[in-house]
Structure 1
Amino acid sequence: MRIGLLTEGGYPYVSGDARLWCDRLVRGLGQHDFDVYALSRSERQQGEGFIELPPQVGRVRTAPLWAAGEDGVAFGRRARRRFAECYGELAAAVCAGDAVAGDAAGAVSGDGESGVADRFGGALYGLAELVREEGSGLAGALRSESAVRALESACRAPGALPAARGARVPDLLTVADRIERTLRPLSLDWYDEEDGLGSVDLCHATSGGAAALPGLLARHFWGVPLLVTEYGVRLRAHYLGSHEESGPARALLAAFQGRLAAEMYGQAALITPGNTHARRWQERCGADRAKLRTVYPGMEASRFWEVGERAECADPDTLVWVGRIEPGKDLVSLLHAFAQVRKARPKTRLRIVGTPAEGPVGAAYLSDCKALAARLFPDGAEGVRRIGGRPVSFEKIGAPDLSSLAEAYAAGAVVVLSSVVEGFPINLVEAMFCGRATVSTDVGAVVEVIGGTGLVVPPHNPRALAEACVALLRDPERRALLGAAARARALELFTVEQNIAAFHGIYLEIVSHCPVRRADATGEPLPFAVPAEAHVRGTWAESATRSASASGPRWAAGAPAGSGAAGAGAAGALSDSAQERVPAGEGAR
């Protein structure tokens, strides 16, 4: 079958979120063809180019989320009237009470929550249909004075969100700008029945928000089923990262994200959260439990195999923390906890391995942590670790005894996670692959991942963290048993192989229950976008593909003659889109 893989800020670019996960999925499902539709988050990311793509990727089409895409074209009078109606409905639905409610999936009838959700969906698809007819002009309209006035009117209407009633012009401008950024995919030229998302068998959105919008439109226009995978729920990310906006702007943007999430979950054939923590957020946003299938992220276990096999640690008196240094990791509590650990076991050392998060916040936090360590441990806290010396060290992968990530985990007896905010704890899984005993805070999906194979303590509690670390440092046998159990659990649940097998089954299940209704030139039904003979080498396959292309069935539109085993387009196939990039031969730069 042909999969339309929808990404935002990651695959197939050299850098970005979920890049490795998507690459492993595509390479592991070589029996399917993939068309990648990617949204880039920055000019730098787009300029870095693509990773080397496997032959089953037939087409890559890209579009920037960082550029407004203004083309200088304005809607005519009739189009402006339609836009005002649609955007007014959208704004009214966003401002109509709490968008993040248990009834968002439609449990309430009449003019209640489900009626508001219908208004939001109708307005969204109305805007998309307007763009299809007009071809351009949406970006300017979404930023126009009429859009801001529609938001203002909705905020002042009876029954509007209490927090939004005090919205001022700067707040409304902020909200209009953020809505425009999210809705930019509505203006793309990806929505073609012959050479776009209308020609795929299944759309797989690798995140919510903007990445899922093309899938929603393919579902609306052609009935293409939509699969949504969320390893980080967009609404949760908004709540955690929206401190710069004012209260009214934050409330309005949360309501918009909630409405969009409810529409996405309502239209999706299946939703695959990465853990139970994300699943609860999705249910809160209106996802039907019957559509939810937890699929854990797949991680490469082979990188940690050697360390996991030998089990022993480099230093039984050392604690190790590995990760990205930022406030959410709460290294301050870890340092205070370590001060208590040193009182019980004076020879213990703490190795903090990682780099600060990008931007001034990460660098400032690292500096603060080093200063705190210097105050708590006057014998020194910076630089590399010396035997018999500094109790705390801040290090990076690449040091003489930390040549790899696996060696970092092997450097200590206990691996510590001290976060106050966490989604799926990747570093914790890596420690489990290495057979390490762990002490973690009870945040995000930590308890679900650990499953009883490590110690878990409350966040923001240095005393509990210290007591758990001391308990494991004093008991080598318990450490060994917990480490072995953790490794067995990780190998069973969190490998690339289990992830690929899960999605292979889900793809087949969705297509069998929600097929796209296609027919050839004679009216005969066609079950898949790519005929089976396109995957067979030889002259028979080539002639069959040429014959199919000549007869004009829509499922063959993207399959060039002689594509052979690559199916519908070997890597490098182009469409007419000005936003498309050539994947073939463009390796990591």
Structure 2
Amino acid sequence: MHGPRTAPTSGGAPPDGTSVTLLTEGTYPHSHGGVSVWCDQLVQGMPDVDFHVMAVTGTGREPLAWQPPGHVRSITNLPLWGTPQDCPPPRGKTLRRFLAGYEEFLAALLDPEAEDRFPAALYHLADHAPSGLLSAALRTERAARVLAKLWTRPTVGTAAAHPTLHDALSATDLLEHALRPLAGRAAADTGVTHAVSGGLAALPGLVAHHVHGTPFLLTEHGVYLRERYLSFRAEPYRWPVKALMLGFFRLLAMESYRTAALVTPGNRYNRRWEEHGGTPPERIRTVYNGVDPAAFPPAGPEPETPTLSWAGRVDPIKDLQTLIRAFALVRGKLPTARLRLFGGTPRGAEKYRESCEALAVELGIGEAVTFEGRVEDIKDAYAAGNVVMLSSVSEGFPFTLIEAMSCGRATVSTDVGGVREAVGECGLVVPPRDPERMAEAALRLLNEPTLRARMGEGARLRVIEQFTLRQTISTFREIYQDLSGRRPAEQARPAPGAARPSWARAIAAGGAG
């Protein structure tokens, strides 16, 4: 049985009374990567705050990649896969009542005229999740037939694609897995639930707000909905299945934005998506990621061989194929150049890595491109290159970029998310999926050591002035205290004649309804 599983952790420093349930998906504390680093820094930086972690995972059996400190009081896994909680399928009136609510849920996903039914239908399903009845009911043939009947109606957009029963079975199975986090229950006395991404991680926070009125805080590093749009392009399902799932993710994003007492994007680019999704502007506060400049000091001498380095997880969203194509153009001008790629390959991305390796061989640069796996000290990845590259098609405010900047390395990055906000004039920014422009920028920096040095020095100063970890932690401490009503009066009181920020006024007025 792979239902929610909670593990207590050891005791720690006495808390200040603030309690935060951190909601994650595929990141902390079970995997490495930028968002996981951010979570660890946040938790480590507040030893006087009680943290609980509810982690949406793959199977629930993933080992811990981080050792949480003692003030992380519990870790609850919410696995999407594996055998669901053991519960007999409902029958008779119980099943009919459930299916009536489920039909309302599906109608909201498929019919624009019914979208306003989504919140009530979602919380109706949530009522059945902790017992296991939700998963059990969705695994019945009747649940698939409800969808098969509904999405062939002439008034529904999916009807034109002639969805089949096989499509209905596929879509119902995807929904059953996606809705499993509804079984997660934050404690009634939790001060704040804090989702560190949109999407499935937000589900327990939405339920806690619905049931207990618990303040819900949403931080988006990348735009979850945009990334689902990008990823579903490559999925093998027919259009009706994709339409249903993207409808779910879109309405889930809108409900998250509507419910959140405060939304804290990591950059202004995300803010535009959040406003478009219905978040009132006064409930949005941009909080940039920060690093400790002392932990990422100047990297020291550059390699003698012209080298481009990259760090991150090997994943299609990082678009390593464009980087490899760009490097092939660089290699044509600088035959001794090397490309060193640092970072692990998550489960499920093995074929993507193999395709990248094959592309390098096909382009005749296989011996000059090395996949070096996870590095013990990430600073070594930045020091390995004369120039640090970022080739992603989607980012929030990427840690690898500001870490490399703190190390004093010049960078070439794609113009996505908050990259331009991070770099300013201290690096080169190029369009995504454009190997020619990327190669041109990399060659410019490799061939101009004075420019490279000036940009590297400016990048480190920019981090010290604007993007420090201390600023990030201080801001979230203040937000936690405001949301939970525990901020000391002498801190909360504005200076004479000073107006409180619009987001703080919204919190004081009660946040979301």
SS of the residue corresponding to residue 177 of structure 1 reads helix
Distance of 1:203 and 1:369 partners within structure 2: 44
- Taking the aligned partners of 1:164 and 1:280, their CA distance within structure 2 comes to 33
Aligned positions of 1:63-102 closer than 5 A: 63-97=78-112
Alpha-carbon shift at residue 348 of structure 1 (Å): 5.1
Of 326-335 and 497-506, deviating more is 326-335
Does residue 167 (structure 1) correspond to residue 163 (structure 2)? The answer is yes
Measure, in 2, the Cα distance between the counterparts of 1:325 and 1:222.
40
What is the alpha-carbon distance in structure 2 between the residues aligned to residue 434 and residue 56 of structure 1? 31
Shift of 1:324: 4.0
Aligned to 2:337: 349
Does structure 1 residue 145 correspond to structure 2 residue 121? no
Give distance in 1, aligned partners of 2:215 and 2:317: 37
Distance 1:136 1:457, change over 3 A: closer
CA deviations 1:338-363 (Å, max 9, x no partner) are 4544565x465123232563443234
Q: Give unpaired runs (5+ residues) of structure 2.
A: 1-17, 488-513
The match for 2:372 among 396, 421, 435 is 396
Q: Equivalents in 1 of 2:477, 2:103: separation in Å?
A: 42
Quote the Cα distance in structure 2 between the aligned partners of 1:197 and 1:76.
Answer: 31
From 302, 308, 311, give the equivalent of 1:313: 302
Partner of 1:28: 45
Tell me, in whole angstroms, the C-alpha distance in 2 between the residues paired with 1:71 and 1:334.
47
What is the TM-score normalised by the length of structure 2? Answer: 0.81
Quick one: distance in 1 between partners of 2:183 and 2:317? Answer: 36
1:489 is the counterpart of 2:462: yes
Task: Work out which of the residue numbers 52, 62, 71 in structure 2 matches 1:56.
Answer: 71
Match of 2:13 in 1: none
Distance 1:237 1:462, change over 3 A: closer
**Does the alignment pair 1:198 with 2:188?**
yes
- Separation (CA, whole Å) in 2 of partners of 1:295 and 1:491: 16
**1:147-296 equivalences in 2 (<5 Å):** 147-162=143-158, 166-188=162-184, 190=185, 196-242=186-232, 243-296=235-288
How many Å separate the matches in 2 of 1:405 and 1:258? 35
- Asked if the contact 1:33–1:58 (Cα under 8 Å) also holds between the matched residues in 2, the reply is yes
| Matched position secondary structure for 2:417 | coil
Paired residue total: 466
TM-score, normalised by the number of residues in structure 1: 0.72
Measured after TM superposition, the shift of residue 44 of structure 1 is 4.1
> How far did 1:167 drift?
1.7
Q: By how many angstroms is 1:505 displaced?
A: 1.5
| CA pair 510-137 structure 1, distance change in 2 beyond 3 A | same
The DSSP-based 3-state class of the residue aligned with 2:451 is helix
Q: Which SS does the other structure have where 2:188 is aligned?
A: helix
Q: Greater relative contact order (Cα 8 A, min sep 6): structure 1 or 2?
A: 1
Distance 1:285 1:461, change over 3 A: same
Any residues of structure 2 matched to 1:541-580 within 5 Å, and which? Answer: none
Cα distance in 2, alignment partners of residues 421 and 506 from structure 1: 27
Deviates more, 1:51-60 or 1:198-207: 51-60
Cα distance, 1:172 vs structure 2: 1.2
Equivalent position SS for 2:151:
helix
Paired with 1:28 and 1:156, the residues of 2 have a C-alpha distance of 53
Equivalent pair of 1:356/1:366 in contact (CA under 8 Å) = no
What per-residue deviation string (whole Å, max 9, x for no partner) do you get for residues 69-111 of structure 1? 24242335332232122111101111113xxxxxxxxxxxxxx
The offset of 1:142, in angstroms, is 1.7
Q: Taking structure 1 as reference, are residues 472 and 220 closer, same or farther at Cα in structure 2, changes over 3 Å only?
A: same
Q: 1:182–1:209: 8 Å Cα contact kept in structure 2?
A: no
Read off the aligned partner of 2:476 and give its amino acid letter.
F
Secondary structure at the counterpart of residue 296 of structure 2 = helix
The percentage of aligned residue pairs carrying the same residue is 40
Q: Work out the CA distance in 2 between the residues paired with 1:210 and 1:31.
A: 28
Checking the alignment, whether the CA contact within 8 Å between 1:155 and 1:165 is kept in structure 2 is no
- Please tell me the residue identity of whatever aligns with 1:314: P
Aligned to 2:5: none
Retained in 1: the 8 A contact 2:60–2:78?
no
SS at match of 1:207: coil
1:438 to 380, 390, 411: 411
- In the TM superposition, residue 423 of structure 1 has moved relative to its aligned partner by 4.4
Contact 1:333 1:418 (8 Å CA) reproduced: yes
1:297 Cα deviation from its structure 2 partner = 2.8
Task: Please tell me the residue identity of whatever aligns with 2:303.
Answer: A
Is there any run of 5+ residues in structure 1 with no aligned partner, and where?
A: 98-111, 191-195, 383-391, 515-589
Q: Distance in 1 between matches of 2:65 and 2:471?
A: 26
Measured at CA, do residues 321 and 369 of structure 1 come closer, stay the same or move farther in structure 2, by a change above 3 Å?
Answer: farther
Name the CA distance, whole Å, in 1 between partners of 2:482 and 2:72: 22
Cα offset, 1:318, TM superposition: 3.6
Alpha-carbon distance in 2 for matches of 1:50, 1:468: 36
- Structure 1 residue 219, shift from structure 2 partner: 0.9
**Aligned mate of 2:430, from 438, 457, 465:** 457
**Counterpart secondary structure, 2:124:** helix
SS at 1:452 equivalent: coil
Summarize the Cα distance change of 1:177–1:298 in structure 2 as closer, same or farther, 3 Å threshold.
Answer: farther
Helix, strand or coil for the counterpart of 1:88? helix
- Superimposed CA distance per residue, residues 253-273 of structure 1 (whole angstroms, 9 cap, x where no aligned partner): 100111111112111111122
Mean CA deviation greater in 242-251 or 330-339 = 330-339
1:395-414 matched pairs, under 5 angstroms: 396=372, 404-414=377-387
Match of 2:126 in 1: 128
> In the TM superposition, what is the alpha-carbon distance from 1:2 to its structure 2 partner?
1.5
Question: 1:315·1:412 contact (CA, 8 Å) conserved in 2?
Answer: no
User: Does structure 1 conserve the Cα–Cα contact (< 8 Å) formed by 2:227 and 2:394?
Assistant: no
Q: Secondary structure at the match of 1:141?
A: helix
CA distance in 2, matches of 1:152, 1:403: 51
For the Cα contact (< 8 Å) 1:322–1:354, is it kept in 2? yes
What's the offset of the Cα at 1:397? Answer: 6.4
Question: Relative to structure 1, is the Cα distance of residues 422 and 32 closer, same or farther in structure 2, using a 3 angstrom cutoff?
Answer: closer
Aligned twin of 1:40: 57
Q: In the alignment, what sits opposite 1:369? A: 359
Across the aligned residues of Structure 1 and Structure 2, the Cα RMSD in angstroms comes to 3.0
> Where does residue 5 of structure 1 map in the other structure?
22
1:11/1:17 contact within 8 Å kept: no
Q: Which moved more, 1:11-20 or 1:171-180?
A: 11-20
Q: CA deviation at 1:432?
A: 0.8
Distance in 1 separating the partners of 2:350 and 2:69: 37
Task: Measure how far apart 1:198 and its partner are.
Answer: 1.0
Aligned residue runs from structure 1 range 492-571, under 5 A: 492-512=465-485
